[in-house]
Amino acid sequence: MRFAASQNSNPDFGASVDAACQDLVIQLGNEPPDLLFCFIMAEHREQAGQLPELIRTVTGARHVVGCTVEGVAGGNEEIESGPAISMWAAVLPDVPLAPFHVQFERTPDGLMCTGLPSADSLGWKPQAAFLLADPFSTAIDSFIGTLSHEFPAVPLLGGMASGARGIGENRLLLDEQEYQQGGVGVLIGPGVSIRSIVSQGCRPVGRTYVVTRSEQNVLHELGGKAAMLRLQEVFDEVSERDRQLISQGPHVGLARNEYQESFDRGDFFISNIIGGDRTSGALAIGNPIRTGQTVQFHVRDATTADEDLRTLLGNALKAAPAPKGALLFTCNGRGTRVFPEPHHDARMIQELAGPIPLAGFFAQGELGPISGENHIHGFTASVALFGEPEIDGR
């Protein structure tokens, strides 16, 4: 099992692709990769369709999965503007792979997701699913539901293609085909360890509350009081720094398991507060919520985002053998839009887990599991760590 990654920012498309591919070939000792991910900056959009053939000619890659993006990560760097290509390749002996292209259509029974292999057709259970999708033509909740139905508890990682302003501008690549709608991805089977880290960049403030009245995505009451009154209570109790962060935009963490005795970062799915009604004291959030669920207000800033990724990655590395490769799907709202210095996420992964082959991109929505349940996120760094299979075969 071998991994490699290469990034190139030569504005000449052909030269950039050839240099990156030759680098992969050297790292892999001329062994053709079974799986290759490629991420292409939007400046190369019109030439993206040539990429799979060029890659396969030089590297002999069996499967190619890629998309156009507004920024790439590679090694310990993140390139947020200008032409660039980032590639990641893996030699995975005896690991089954099932590439797919999914599409979405409206039917009398609702949105239908087609193209994902069925459990019966595979004959093996995936370790993980990876999806690169066009945000303008993908009903991501439909895909998550379909994946959960076919393959319960299988983690979904990846992200939404970025750098486009509308449908038809993004490019999705799968083996020798180019698509402009839907999503492309791959199911990866037994024989390799794939561990996920989803850093939502938030930390909890105040105490937890039980939702005592709600309707769809509206929080009416927390612990018997209006939701806005509870937020005011938290505001009055926290430090001056946290008050500033709350004023910039608080978030609500939805506990994935309300039966826990205590909660910490990673136990919540973070949702934005999108509005409030001062008359009723209700708060509207970006996700459905139900009465009886446990919630806690959260704040986010560069320091918190740094601390969150460092903590979650550190904990994951203590619990498992050192990884041999990584894919990074980070929000296009992170990078220098959040952190005072560039390359934050890539360099932290290399600092704590590296040096390892790493590639990824700035996404318009990141995919990753929280407490075993798959979600699409915002302002998140979703990381997949690859390594040798453990004794139990995971």
pLDDT in tens, 166-218: 989 999 999 999 999 999 999 999 999 999 999 998 889 999 999 999 999 99
| pLDDT at site 276 | 93
User: Whole-model pTM?
Assistant: 0.90
56 and 118 together in one domain: yes
Helix 240-248 vs helix 227-237: angle between axes, to the nearest 10 degrees? 140
Give me the residue label for tokens 């099992």: 1
pLDDT over threshold 70, residue 391: no
Report the share of the chain in percent with pLDDT over 70. Answer: 98
The pLDDT assigned to 393 comes to 44
pLDDT for position 203: 87
User: Can you state the angle between helices 302-318 and 344-353, rounded to 10 degrees?
Assistant: 30
Q: What is the pLDDT of residue 358?
A: 98
Domain count, the chain: 2
Give mean pLDDT, residues 28-33. Answer: 97
- Please state the rounded mean pLDDT for residues 268-289: 92
The pLDDT score that the predictor gives to residue 265 is 67
Residues 295 and 316 grouped into a single domain: no
- Side chain identity at 176, as an amino acid letter? E
Does 357 have pLDDT greater than 70?
Answer: yes
**Rounded Cα distance, 226 and 218, in Å:** 11
In a domain, 394, yes or no: no
Average pLDDT for 347-359 = 96
* Nearest to 36, CA basis, from 20, 12, 15: 20
Does 184 lie in the same domain as 58? Answer: yes
Per-residue confidence (pLDDT) for residue 55, from 0 to 100: 96
Q: Which of 84, 162, 73 is nearest to 342 (CA)?
A: 73
Tell me, yes or no, whether 259 and 113 share the same domain. Answer: no
Q: Which two tokens stand for residue 220?
A: 């009416």
Q: Residues 237-252, buried b or exposed e (16+ Cβ, 10 A)?
A: ebeeebbebbeeebbb
Judgement on whether residues 155 and 30 belong to the same structural domain of the protein: yes
Q: Where are the beta strands (DSSP E) in 161-293?
A: 172-174, 177-179, 183-188, 193-199, 202-204, 209-215, 218-222, 225-226, 251-255, 268-277, 282-285
Q: What is the pLDDT of residue 112?
A: 86
Cα–Cα dist 374/367, whole Å = 7
Task: With beta carbons less than 8 A apart as the criterion, state whether 372 and 153 touch.
Answer: yes
Mean per-residue pLDDT over the chain, rounded? 93
Is 393 domain-assigned? Answer: no
Is residue 178 domain-shared with residue 216, that is, in the same domain? no
Domain boundary among 276, 299, 322: 299
Torsion angle in degrees (nearest 10) through CA of 238, 239, 244, 246:
-20
Residue whose structure tokens are 């203590």: 318
| Strand, helix or coil for residue 373 | strand
> Any idea what the CATH number is for the domain that residue 221 is in?
2.40.30
pLDDT at 273 over 80: yes
Residues 251 and 164 in one domain: no
